[in-house]
Amino acid sequence: MTTSSLSDRPARVLFLGTPSDPVDLGRWTELQVHLRAASIEITPSFEDELDYAIVTEDVLDGYCTADEALTLQKLRSRGITCASTCAGPEQILAALAEASAEVAPVVPISAAKGRASGHAVRDAV
């Protein structure tokens, strides 16, 4: 994984794909809101300094564009952890805190609407 020092930047997360149904779109949007609230930078494109990726189920299953497939391949080759939209905000923040020790601290979302998702973070590699 490529990271920079603590003072350089906050944790950075890539969102890859386009949710294909309303439930996935709702989770996608909710994850973005929670991550932004935790001062995590969200990017729609692959950059050298990524710490994590949220990927739609379609992309993980290979139902995607050539550009999305190439980006997923780059993520895998760099060892960047990927999770589907099934992962809850708490699981993603915990994985980010563990995986990016060299990056600015991740602020926990203790509120997260008072609920924790029962799904574990899934590594797509």
The structural domains of the chain, with segments of one domain joined by +, span 12-114
pLDDT of 68 strictly over 90: yes
* Best CA proximity match to 22, nearest among 14, 30, 13, 32: 30
Summarize pLDDT for 77-110 with one digit per residue, the tens.
998 888 887 777 778 777 777 765 554 443 333 3
Q: Are 59 and 19 in contact (CB under 8 A)?
A: no
Entry pTM:
0.69
Q: What fold characterizes domain 12-114?
A: Rossmann fold (3.40.50)
Report pLDDT for 112: 34
Report pLDDT for 96: 74
